Amino acid sequence: MAPLIVLAVVTGSARLIGWLTDICWLGSWPHAVALGLAAMFVLTASAHFARPRRDALIAMVPPRLPSARALVTLTGVLELAGGVGLLIPATADLAALCLIALLMVMFPANIRAARADLGIKTMPLSLRTLVHIVFLSACAVVLVG
């Protein structure tokens, strides 16, 4: 739930700052959402490198995939790269598109974790699905904005 809160608070704060000041970049929802997503992905990426969250994420990786530890590290690096990419105007669209793909690829691990009661156990599958749709939608806002 923390990533969703970070996304909402940072996006809302960025949009408010854009409305109250002359910071033109924050004057649009897509840019504010990009900033919120960047903060969210930095937060979620940190879990890929620090225990105990890293161990929980490793447990979520479907067993048919090779090297769960390496995949968790790779997805953490990709989340960081995507978060940074969202903040660079020239790469924001590509970053949003890549993050959509990454979220889609990682979702089966969330399904497995919810069904098998593994890994990060913060919410049931129905809520995980809804939150995932919010994240995908936020990436789409950046992409089409």
**pLDDT single digits (tens) 39-85:** 999 999 999 999 988 998 998 898 898 999 999 999 999 999 999 99
Q: Is the pLDDT of residue 6 over 70?
A: yes
Which phi-psi region, left, alpha or beta, contains residue 67 (left: φ > 0; alpha: ψ -120 to 50)?
Answer: left
Q: Does the pTM exceed 0.85?
A: yes
Helix 29-47 to helix 68-86 angle, to the nearest 10 degrees? 160
